[in-house]
Amino acid sequence: MRRDETYLLDILIAARDAMSFVSDVTQAQFYASRLHQNAVVKALEIIGDAAARISDETRQAHPEIPWADITGMRNRLVHGYF
């Protein structure tokens, strides 16, 4: 469980980072900015990597969290499954 706490903290920090990267950016500005896009993608990669390492015990205790969707998004971003 201790290990899961570390991964969950990584997820929280990366999610907060992603939100801060776009907090003062309009949708049009975001689409025009490779810098903002890459920053958010990196945060999503971190979230997906950490989510993939969460134990089965924690995953089963929190079925309301779409673990497979989170890790799947990471795989699509990293490997370019568009």
In this prediction, residue 72 carries a pLDDT of 94
pLDDT digit string, tens, across residues 37-74: 999 999 999 999 999 999 999 999 999 999 999 999 99
In this prediction, residue 73 carries a pLDDT of 94
In this prediction, residue 2 carries a pLDDT of 81
Q: Could you tell me the residue ranges of all domains in the chain?
A: 2-79
pLDDT-based confidence at 82, cuts 50/70/90? low
pLDDT digit string, tens, across residues 13-25: 999 999 999 999 9
Distance CA 46, CA 59 (A): 18
Question: Which residues are annotated as catalytic?
Answer: 74, 79
**Burial of residue 77, with CB atoms counted within 10 A of its CB: 0-12 exposed, 13-18 middle, 19 or more buried:** middle
